[in-house]
A and B are shown apart, each in its own frame.
Chain A
C-alpha cells in the first residue's frame, strides 16, 4: 500500500459507523481501531512533527495518542467529530512533549541530500523555516501545524481550536506574519 499524500476524505457518516462499531464487541472494537489508526496515523504524525519539532519524539507521541484513543474510544460520546477529538488528543500530547524537550534534532536533517539547484534552494528554505518556526509561540506553531496537514479543512481546524470559522484565518495570518518576521530577523 502506498502512503496517501493527503488526508483520506472520511465523511461524518463513515466516522460515526466506525465509532458505533467500536462500541460493540471487543473484536469489532479492535478492528475499528485498526482502521482509525491507518486513516489518521499520518496526519497525526505530521501534526506532532510540526508542533514538537522533532521526528523521533513525534513517533513516540503518536503511539501514546493512539493508545489513548484505543482506551477512550468506548467513552467517546460523539459530541464532536471523531477526527476533531483525535487531533485534540494529538495536540495536547504534542504540546506536553514539546514542553518537556530540551534538545532537538534539527528537522531539516531528514531532507535527502539535494542534487539539483531547486533542491538546494528548497533545503535552504526548509532549514530557515524550521529554525524560524522553532522560535514561535506554541499557539502560532499549532495553527501553522494544523494548516500544514494536507486536506484538513479550515472548518475542521476551527473545530479543533474551538474558535469561529472566521477566526482561524486571522489566527493563521497572524502566525504567518510572525514567522515571516522571524525569517527576516534570523
Chain B
C-alpha cells in the first residue's frame, strides 16, 4: 500500500471534521498528527477559521425579521400581478380612450393600431425579461459541474445579449428611417414610430451599459481561479 501523503491526510482531516471518516482513517490520522507539524497546523488553523466564520454567519442571521421577508415575498407577488394587470389591461384602455378623444375621426383606427403596437412591445419586453430572469435562476439541474455549466451559461447569455444589442440597433435604424423618411405618413404615425424607436433605444442602452457589463463582470469573477 502506498504511503499516504500530507495532502491525503488533509482530506481525512476534513472527513473527520464532518463525521465521514472511518475508524481506520481516524486512527491513521491520529498517528500521523503526532509526527506531522504541517498537518497539525492545517487542522488547527482551518478549525479556528471555520469557527470564526460560523460565528459570523450565526450572528448575521440570528436577528433576521422573517415575517418582514415573508410579507415582502407576498407583496412582491401581489405587486407583480397588479403591475401586469395595469400594463396589459387598464393602461392601454386608458391611453386608447384619451387618444380616441384627441384623434381626428378618420385617424382613429390608425392611432389605435399604433398604440397597440407600442403597448404590446412594452408588455412583451417586460414579460420576456421576467421569464429570462427566472429561467436563468431556476433552470433545472445540470449534469455537469456547477461552475463549468454556469460559465457556459454566462457565455451564452453574453452572446445572446450581444446579438440583441445589434438587433435593437437595426430596429432603431429602420424605425427612424420609417419615421423621418416616409413621405405620406401622418404626424401621429411618425410619433408612433419614434416612440417604438425610443423603446428599442432603451433596450440597446440597457444591454450596452447595464446588462452586458454585469454579465461580463460575473464571468470574469468566475474565471478568476486559484489553485
Contact = CB atoms under 8 A, between A and B. Distances in A.
Give me the 3 closest cross-chain CB pairs, A-B, nearest first.
A72-B138, A126-B52, A129-B52
Contact of A180 (B42, B214, B218): B42
29 contacts: A41-B66, A46-B57, A49-B56, A55-B60, A58-B60, A67-B77, A75-B138, A76-B140, A77-B140, A80-B140, A89-B138, A92-B136, A92-B137, A92-B150, A95-B150, A96-B214, A100-B214, A111-B59, A125-B48, A125-B51, A126-B53, A127-B52, A129-B56, A137-B225, A139-B225, A142-B147, A172-B14, A174-B227, A184-B45
B34 interface: no
A44 to B, nearest CB: 10
Given A62-B69, A100-B214, A161-B146, A110 B59 contact: yes
Given A46-B61, A129-B49, 14 more contacts: A49-B57, A71-B134, A85-B141, A96-B218, A128-B52, A130-B52, A133-B49, A133-B53, A139-B147, A139-B222, A162-B141, A162-B143, A173-B13, A183-B45
B56 A110 contact: yes
A72 B21 CA distance: 38
A151 to B, nearest CB: 10
A68 B10 contact: no
Given A71-B138, A88-B141, A112-B59, A179 B49 contact: yes
A132 B51 CA distance: 14
B55 A111 contact: yes
Contacts of A177: 10, 42
A80 B49 CA distance: 32
A22 interface: no
B149 interface: yes
A45 B146 CA distance: 20
B36 interface: no
Nearest to A139: B147
Nearest to A84: B141
Contact of A110 (B10, B15, B60, B140): B60
Contacts of A76: 140
Query: What DSSP secondary structure best describes chain B's contact surface?
Result: helix
Interface of A: 3, 34, 37, 41-42, 45-46, 49-50, 55, 58-59, 62-72, 75-77, 79-80, 84-85, 88-89, 91-93, 95-96, 98-100, 107-108, 110-112, 122-123, 125-130, 132-133, 136-140, 142, 144, 147-148, 154, 160-163, 169-170, 172-174, 176-180, 183-184
A52 to B, nearest CB: 11
